[in-house]
Amino acid sequence: MHTKSLSELSTALHNGDITSVALTQHYLDRIKQYNGELNAYITICEESALAQATDADTQFKAGTAGPLTGIPLAHKDIFCTQGVRTSCGSKMLDNFIAPYNATVVEKLNTAGMVLLGKTNMDEFAMGSSNETSFYGAVSNPWDTDRVPGGSSGGSAAAVAAQLAPIATGTDTGGSIRQPAALCNLTGLKPTYGRISRYGMIAFASSLDQAGPMARSAEDAAMLMQAMAGFDERDSTSVDHPVPDYTTDLNTPLDGLTIGLPTEYFDAGLDPAVNDTIQAAIKQYETLGATIKEISLPNTKLAVPTYYVVAPAECSTNLSRMDGVRFGHRCEDPVDLEDLYTRSRGEGFGEEVKRRIMTGTYALSAGYYDAYYLKAQQCRRLIRDDFVAAFKQVDVIMGPTSPTTAFKAGEKTDDPVAMYLADIYTISTNLAGLPGMSIPAGFVDGLPVGLQIIGNYFDEARLLNVAHRYQQVTDWHQQAPDAFAG
Ligand code: GLN
């Protein structure tokens, strides 16, 4: 059952070959069997999942079921889920039961999906390895000594090990695409504003975007269909029509122009990963695409720019965690300042504190112009590079991550080495563009992700480009042996 695609599951449910209750129970059993080894889920919603599944089965009987009705999923623990702990991977929110649903959660509930549980993540989505979580590190199902990537590492590990057919993730600088690459998944970070951020705990508000983490482009398109759309409760969501992401998946790629930025094939790229990416590009040529070398000259500014903008925004977003309204509160505070400092000191982990310090510094009087304003100017240059590139090409391709999954602990003492894991993904967030990662092969048994970047609101094309490749390759169908049974 757990090897089936979303559309196969949907057909089986609609035909009455399986019930949602049986399907949900199957996944709950798998979670019980394997989660101890992976630590992919922080919270398992057994009782409510079975209740939702029972409702779904009633809908099948009543003939009111839709394409996603009765299909289980997992949400990254950054999405507020009413009545269910929403921790964001932090001790700060360990006791936080969300009083309302995020729009994404609400939409997928309305579509009839069944929530299996909440997945582990780097604390407040800060990280590239899922090692900063208060709930402990997540293991990569392809090699449990290695990281699954981050910050949506729990969602990635859960889908890769088939402990959920699909999951949600969020991407501020690569957190959907990089774990998708490291775990052999298809992950889509949509255009900024395509999906509502309401109820999605903010890390860096001008960069954060939710998206699907799936086993194929077809599955991702189905979830995307239900997630996308304008939301009046999010002033940054864009009122732009949502196309049908599933109808154009098969459009032939003849005439497609793919840009390869020289800067994405630099000395930092692992040679074996490069070979894998080159082979994937060759495959696209046989599918009818034309390859064109391009330049995104300001790529080198992306990591430093991001590490001013993102910490600056997080320092203001996280100021609401003050021990007063919700979240962790220290014991016996002597006065207000003691309450603030001890609650925050105890509640936040080391990486989060590092970001708050950096961001507060960059925003402080006297440094604002030198750092924050400068970073905003660099951000514009990075965006302009892409605008110029999309005058010449339809999509841009390159590696998602410079290496395959690295060993747990390998980069934990060196924040800058960790930050460089997102060197190829961060620019698209700064520009607000959509980006995808799809499975493109293996190096020493570890997955490699091909990144596809599109123009604004061109998600349908990205999904089409990914789907055509998945019809002639079977990388995306590979699953880790250790969790297959
Ligand atoms: N790894 C990057 C960071 O630590 C991006 C994280 C993300 O996309 N949420 O900030």
In total, the chain counts a number of residues equal to 485
Q: How far is CA 348 from CA 27, 56, 114, 280, 356, in A?
A: 33, 39, 31, 42, 10
Which one of the listed residues 139, 151, 315, 401 is annotated catalytic? Answer: 151
**Using an 8 Å Cβ cutoff, are 91 and 349 in contact?**
yes
Of 236, 207, 211, 194, the closest CA to residue 359 belongs to 207
- Domain assignment of residue 394, yes or no: no
Spans in the chain with pLDDT lower than 50: none
H-helix or E-strand spanning residue 371: none
Index of the ligand 1 atom closest to the CA of residue 307: 10
| Residue 181, domain CATH | 3.90.1300.10
Any atom of ligand 1 within 6 Å of the Cβ of 323: no
**Using an 8 Å Cβ cutoff, are 159 and 6 in contact?**
no
Tell whether 201 and 73 lie within a shared domain: yes
**Ligand 1 pocket: which of 77, 126, 203, 351 to mutate (most atoms within 8 A of CB):** 126
Tell whether 216 and 353 lie within a shared domain: no
Tell whether 293 and 306 lie within a shared domain: no
pLDDT of residue 84: 98
Of 112, 105, 49, the closest CA to residue 78 belongs to 105
- Domain assignment of residue 397, yes or no: no
187 CA distance to ligand 1 middle (Å): 15
Q: How far is Cα 471 from Cα 268, in angstroms, rounded to an integer? A: 31
Dump pLDDT digits (tens) for 289-326: 999 999 999 999 999 999 999 999 999 999 999 999 99
Index of the ligand 1 atom closest to the CA of residue 170: 9
Tell whether 114 and 207 lie within a shared domain: yes
Tell whether 129 and 211 lie within a shared domain: yes
172 CA distance to ligand 1 middle (Å): 5
Tell whether 69 and 172 lie within a shared domain: yes
Tell whether 295 and 231 lie within a shared domain: no
Any atom of ligand 1 within 6 Å of the Cβ of 173: yes
pLDDT of residue 485: 87
5 is catalytic: no
Last residue of a domain, one of 389, 415, 443: 389
Give the total number of structural domains in the chain: 3
Tell whether 348 and 358 lie within a shared domain: yes
Which one of the listed residues 87, 175, 237, 343 is annotated catalytic? Answer: 175
**Using an 8 Å Cβ cutoff, are 41 and 120 in contact?**
yes
pTM > 0.95: yes
Tell whether 325 and 427 lie within a shared domain: no
417 CA distance to ligand 1 middle (Å): 13
175 is catalytic: yes
- Domain assignment of residue 439, yes or no: yes
Which one of the listed residues 20, 76, 129, 315 is annotated catalytic? Answer: 76
Tell whether 271 and 289 lie within a shared domain: yes
pLDDT of residue 50: 98
Find the domain containing 329 and state its range. 302-376
pLDDT of residue 262: 97
Tell whether 240 and 306 lie within a shared domain: no
- Domain assignment of residue 265, yes or no: yes
- Domain assignment of residue 396, yes or no: no
- Domain assignment of residue 153, yes or no: yes
Tell whether 110 and 13 lie within a shared domain: yes
76 is catalytic: yes
Dump pLDDT digits (tens) for 374-396: 999 999 999 999 999 999 999 99
Q: How far is Cα 357 from Cα 38, in angstroms, rounded to an integer? A: 32
Last residue of a domain, one of 358, 389, 420: 389
Q: How far is Cα 24 from Cα 254, in angstroms, rounded to an integer? A: 41
Q: What is the DSSP string of 92-151?
A: GGTT-B-SS--HHHHHHHHTT-EEEEEE--SGGG--SSS-S-TT-PPPBTTBTTB---SS
- Domain assignment of residue 398, yes or no: no
Q: Which two tokens stand for residue 339?
A: 């309450």
- Burial of 229 by CB count in 10 Å (0-12 exposed, 13-18 middle, 19+ buried)? middle
- Domain assignment of residue 430, yes or no: yes
CA-atom Rg of the chain in angstroms = 21
Of 121, 105, 140, the closest CA to residue 352 belongs to 121
